[in-house]
Structure 1
Amino acid sequence: MNNDIIVVTIPKKPDYTSMIRLISSSIGNKVGYNIDEIEDLKVAMGEAFILSYGKSSDESIEIEFQIHKNKLEVSLHWNITGGNEESKEAALGRMIIESLMDEAYYTDEEIRLIKYID
């Protein structure tokens, strides 16, 4: 499974948050995360998806899972709508993501999350 890339395009609707969590859970299981790590990934991905659909001008969000030997790297991509003001809810979402993932990076058009594989 090393160097595998899985790309999923999901409609930009809150109703699909649970689907993102399920996909993340399945991939986390395949890379060998334990139950707690899988739960951390699921929660972080749900928060990242919510953050991304608030910024996207597209009708969908592209999510790319890159499986490496020692880590899982997930990127959420979109076209920006403009405006960079962050709500209290978005700030809380970032805090949750950063507490659960090993690394998190944010740009105007992407959220990239990294969780290492022990």
Structure 2
Amino acid sequence: MGPNRPQADVIQLTLPSKAEYLGVARLTVSGIANRMGFSYEEIEDIKLAVGEACTNVVRHAYKETENPGSIHIQCHVYEDRLMIEVSDQGVGFSNELIAEQLTPIYAGKSLEDLDEGGLGLYLIHTLMDEVETRSESGVVVSMTKYVRQDGVAGNDWTISEAEI
């Protein structure tokens, strides 16, 4: 790694791919986000996005197999952002599934009316600042949320300029 590449603390969690463990995933990311100084609303968004990503694993990744498999969660803690990767070793997305999940078909409904997992990737995209989905040995959903200062994404130079 070069000297300009920021170091991240990495927290890893592996859970059985079962719905009853989703609360553990949400609690873990909530604790990390809280420690980083995210607002209550932002922490709720992060928890919901991680819950959605994990729900997708439970529903889709291992349906062809007898073994429930695992959900792997990696939290990369940087000074200015939290990057969370949720992955599985399941069957991978079909392109139709991705297209279907990115369509805002729930536009007329309120969030309260939807089951967790009902909005999938579309919701994750609206809740997080950056989202990347890739298919490797399974599916990896990478989600980033920036820590904001005074309602603006935190950049070192804005703070130092304000001090001048």
TM over 0.5: yes
In structure 1, what is the equivalent of residue 127 of structure 2?
Answer: 100
Q: CA distance change for structure 1 residues 40 and 82 in 2, over 3 Å: closer, same or farther?
A: closer
Q: CA distance change for structure 1 residues 40 and 64 in 2, over 3 Å: closer, same or farther?
A: same
The structure with more radius of gyration:
2
Structure 2 spans left out of the alignment, 5+ residues? 1-6, 63-67, 103-118, 149-164
How does the TM-score come out when normalised to structure 1? 0.87
**Aligned positions, number:** 117
Distance in 2 (alpha carbons) for counterparts of 1:117 and 1:34 = 9
Structure 1 spans left out of the alignment, 5+ residues? none
Alignment RMSD (CA, Å): 2.1
SS of aligned partner of 1:54: helix
Q: Aligned pair 1:116/2:146, yes or no?
A: yes
Identity of aligned residues (%): 32
In structure 1, what is the equivalent of residue 36 of structure 2?
Answer: 31
- In structure 2, give the amino acid aligned to 1:60: S
Q: Which structure exhibits the higher relative contact order, with contacts defined as CA atoms closer than 8 Å and separated by 6 or more residues?
A: 1
How does the TM-score come out when normalised to structure 2? 0.64
Q: CA distance change for structure 1 residues 15 and 89 in 2, over 3 Å: closer, same or farther?
A: farther
Task: Please show how residues 26-105 of structure 1 align to structure 2 within 5 Å.
Answer: 26-57=31-62, 59-82=69-92, 84=94, 85-86=96-97, 90-91=101-102, 92-105=119-132
Q: Is the 8 A contact 1:51 1:90 kept in 2?
A: no
In structure 2, what is the equivalent of residue 4 of structure 1?
Answer: 9
- Once the two structures are superposed, residues 20-73 of structure 1 have per-residue CA deviations (whole angstroms, 9 ceiling, x without a partner) of 111111111011101011111111110011112334346111100000111100
Q: CA distance change for structure 1 residues 16 and 55 in 2, over 3 Å: closer, same or farther?
A: same
